Homo-oligomer: A and B are copies of this chain.
Amino acid sequence: MINSVPDPVMTITEMGALARSASAMLATLPTAARADGLRRAAQALRAAAPAIIAANAEDMAAATEAGLSPAMLDRLRLDEARVAAMAAGVAGVADLPDPVGQVIDRTSAPSGITLTRVRIPIGVIGIIYESRPNVTADAAALCVMSGNAVILRGGSEASRSNRAIHAAFVEGLAAAGLPADAAQLVESTDRALVGAMLTAAGLIDMIVPRGGKSLVARVQADARVPVLAHLDGINHVYVDASADPAMAVSIVINAKMRRTGVCGAMETLLIDRAYPEAADLIASLRATGCEVRGDQAIRAIDPSVPLASDADWDTEYLDAIASIAVVDGVDGAMAHIAAHGSHHTDAIVAGDAAVAERFLAGVDSAIVLWNASTQYADGGEFGLGAEIGIATGRLHARGPVALEGLTTYKWVGRGTGQVRG
C-alpha cells in the first residue's frame, strides 16, 4: 500500500497482541513486583514533572487558541501540585490490597476434587478518556496493579501531556522489570482508532470510558466490547415523614450543593406528603443558592417555586438546580425512582428503620444509602482506595469499581486421578 496512514484496525490489533503478552506476564508476577513497578512509575513521574508541565503548556496554548471553555482548560491544566498528586496516586495504588490470586471460595466437589475459585486479571483493558491527562497515570496504575495490560486513548487536546505522562510511567515500569507494553498509549488522534478499540472483541476485554456524557453515550452505543460505565447520575434523596428535620436539611444540602458537577450529586428531591417540615427544607436548600423546580404539590407548599417540566425529572443538571416532588411515602418514592432514576445512587432520610430497609431493598440502584449524602458515591469513600469508574450496568461490577472489578476468576481443581463415572 502506498498510503502511509496506519490502518486503525491493524494498529489496535498489533497493540492488542502486545498487550495480551504483557498481561500474561503481569498475571504471573507477585504482588511486590507489580507494586514496585508502580512505585518506580511514581518516581519517574516526579522526575519528569518539568517535561510533563512543559508538554502540558503546549497543550494549554493550543487549547486556549482553539477557544476551549475555562472549565475544560482547568481540566487540562497541570502544575507541580497536580503532577505531584498524580504521582502520589500511582504510589498509593501500589499500597492497596492485591486482589490477584485471592481465593474467592473453596469447595470439595462430590468427586473429591478440591475446587477453588481464584481471582485473576481480566486481561486487556481499554480506557477512552477526554481532557484530564491525569487519567493516563491513574487508570494505568489500577490496571497494572490488578495484573491487566491497558490501552489508553486520551483526548486530542491533551495529547502532548498524555505522551509525556505515559513515557514517564512506562520508564518506571521498565525500571522495575515490568513489560512496557503493559501500558500502551494510542498516539494517533485519528478518531477511527476509538472505533477500532470499541470493536476489538477478543483483543480488548473491557472498555472504560472516562469523560462527559457524549463520550460515554458514543462508547455505549458503538462498543462490541463490554463497557464498564455510567451514563447518568440522576440521583434522588427521599425524605420520609419519619426523618429528623435537621438531618434532612443537612443531607439534602450536602447531596446537592457540596459539588454540583459530580455524578453522585442529588438531582431530584422527593418529599413524603406526610413530612411536616417540607417548607423549611425547601427554603433551606434555596438559601444555599440552589435553584428549585417543583411539582404542583410543592407549589402548594411554596407558591414561589417554579413549576418543573416533565423533562426535569429525567435531567441530570450537574449544576445548582434541583427538581422537587411530593410523593406518597416510601412506595411513592420507589415508584418515582423506578420511573426516572439512572440506577446510580439514591438515598433515604428516615428515622423509621423498617421504612428505610424497604427503600434499600426495593430501589434498583448500584448504591442505596440510608441517612447519608449521595455525594459519598466514590471509591475512596467506600474504602476502595481509588476507582477506575462507577458502573450502573447490571453485570460484572456495580457502583465504584476499583482493583477487584478489574479481575475475573478461574476455577482451579486439584485431584488425585479422578475420572468421571
Contact B109 A382 (CB under 8 A): yes
* Residue from B258, B408, B414, B417 in contact with A394 in the complex, judged by beta carbons closer than 8 Å: B408
Q: A368 at interface (Cβ–Cβ under 8 A)?
A: yes
Contact with B along A210-232 (1 / 0, CB 8 A): 00000000000000001000000
Contact with B along A354-385 (1 / 0, CB 8 A): 00100011101111111111011000011100
Q: Which of B122, B244, B360, B395 contacts A412 (CB 8 A)?
A: B360
Is B420 touching A254 in the complex (CB atoms < 8 A)? yes
Q: Counting CB contacts under 8 A, is A50 at the interface?
A: no
Question: Which residues of A144-186 have CB atoms within 8 Å of chain B's CB atoms?
Answer: none
Nearest-CB residue, chain B, relative to A418: B372
Query: How many copies, total?
Result: 2
Alpha-carbon distance between A376 and B415 when the two chains are bound, in angstroms: 11
Secondary structure type dominating chain A contacts: mixed
Q: Does A123 contact B (CB under 8 A)?
A: yes
Inter-subunit contact A250/B372 (CB<8 Å): no
A247 to B420, Cβ gap below 8 A? Answer: no
Cα distance, A250 to B419, chains bound together (Å): 7
Residue A4 interfacial (CB < 8 Å): no
Count of A interface residues, CB-CB < 8 Å = 62
Asked whether, in the complex, the Cβ of B410 is within 8 Å of the Cβ of A365, the reply is yes
Q: In the assembled complex, how far is the CB of residue A1 from the closest CB belonging to chain B, in whole angstroms? A: 28
- Chain B residues lying within 8 Å of A409, measured Cβ to Cβ, are 398
B375, B398, B413: the one within 8 Å of A411 (CB): B398
Interface centre among A361, A398, A419, A420 (most CB of B within 10 A): A420
Instruction: Give the distance in Å from the alpha carbon of A335 to the alpha carbon of B420 in the complex.
Output: 27
Could you tell me the distance between the alpha carbons of A250 and B416 in the complex, rounded to whole angstroms?
12
- Hey, which chain B residues are within 8 Å of A109, CB to CB? 376, 381-383
**Residue of A28, A244, A370, A417 most packed against chain B (CB within 10 A):** A417
16 A-B residue pairings within 8 Å (CB atoms): A113-B376, A120-B364, A205-B394, A226-B395, A255-B419, A360-B414, A365-B410, A367-B413, A368-B412, A371-B415, A372-B418, A373-B418, A376-B420, A382-B411, A398-B409, A399-B411
